Amino acid sequence: MHVRALSLRDFRSWEAAEVELSAGRTVFLGSNGNGKTNLIEAVGYLSTLGSHRVAADAPLIRIGAQKARIGATVVNTGRELRVDMELNQGAANRAQINRSPVRRPREILGILQTVLFAPEDLSLVRGDPGERRRFLDELATARLPRLAGVRADYDKVLRQRSALLKTAGRNARSGNRGAELGTLDVWDGHLAAHGAVLLAQRLRLVHELYPHLAQAYSGIAPESRPAAIAYRSASLPPELLDPARSPQPEDESALEAILLRELAAARSKELERGVCLVGPHRDDLELMLGSAPAKGFASHGESWSYALALRLAGFELLRSAGTDPVLILDDVFAELDRRRRTALAAVAAGAEQVLITAAVAEDVPAELEAVPLRVETTGAADHRASRIADAS
């Protein structure tokens, strides 16, 4: 799989851009602030419908514009597909496949698969559980695009149920027992149904990711303690959290029953606190180094190695399905020592397409033989624009 052409309009610092790309390795060169990361951020957005740098879409729209457009021509096993996204200020985003509108933007998921490694990935090791849940869910959605709808439905149910818990809790404390408690039973069913699907996919993913992660980490940091991952959930029994166990499709019904039971048991606490205490939104991916958790115990170098190993494991897992995802490396070679650079370069050398950003050409290992493109900012201070020039 590779991106043959990328077009931007009013995206980040780019008023307009048209970039022809090819399979192999391309490096966008430029100092900070010139817009090189914005290019690969746009590619990543078409793959995940999210940015690796910000949580909301508003910062992606160029200052002074009302909408931004991203488009790409994707080649997969000889077949070309054009995918376009329009990001709108204060309105719903819109998407097209081969210039034809689709009902929901998430229908473009799966057309372009990417694995992106960036300095922000240190948060996978050092950050909050939400960062690791997002890592799991984006990787699971890349493998099973319909999971995007499940995630959207689960988030909607979670918001509705949380609001209902607050109202019901207030009424209960004031002595008014309203109809909210009966309505909660209905929302419990919705949360358990969607949550079970999400949990089943996460458990499957952790099981399949585990050997890739262990191998990737040992190759990057052979002198370090062995790396291992495990899914952590207060809602599920320990036997379901064993990474050596491979959940079967019928497990979704068992997981739904477990969630319903846990929701019933937690009802009084939830009403008291006004929050949902049960469900996959409370879970975490535990990262271990030897017998100790990586968070809080890993050194800076070990944290970098772990973050890189997680991304490389995801790349190999997607690759095992028969199609190379586009590998995106955002300004990371300068942050890595020689061993980590060599390990990353070895994977990149075998990928169908690699898009790299770097401040200077010397940051990129010479063995990658990447095609250089210079990204520059021109114009007066009140009307600056980014442009791309051949740097070969």
- Which residues are part of a known binding site for ATP? 30-37
SS3 call for 125: helix
* Ordered DSSP codes for 208-240: HHHHHHHHHHHHH-TTSPPEEEEEE-TTS-GGG
Neighbours of 120 (CB within 10 A): 15
- 3-state SS, residue 126: helix
- Among 150, 255, 267, which residue's Cα sits nearest to residue 199? 255
Cα gap 257→262, rounded to integer Å: 9
The DSSP secondary-structure symbol of 244 reads: T
What is the 8-class DSSP label of residue 61?
A: B
- Nearest residue to 139 (alpha-carbon basis) of 166, 104, 113: 113
Handedness of CA 288, 130, 190, 268 (dihedral sign): positive
Q: Which residues are annotated as part of the binding site? A: 30-37
Yes or no: say if 27 and 357 are a contact pair by the CB < 8 Å rule: yes
CA pair distance 243, 239, nearest whole angstrom: 9
Taking the C-alpha atoms of residue 169 and residue 184, their distance in angstroms, rounded to an integer, is: 11
SS3 94: strand
CA–CA separation, 38 vs 107, rounded Å?
Answer: 23
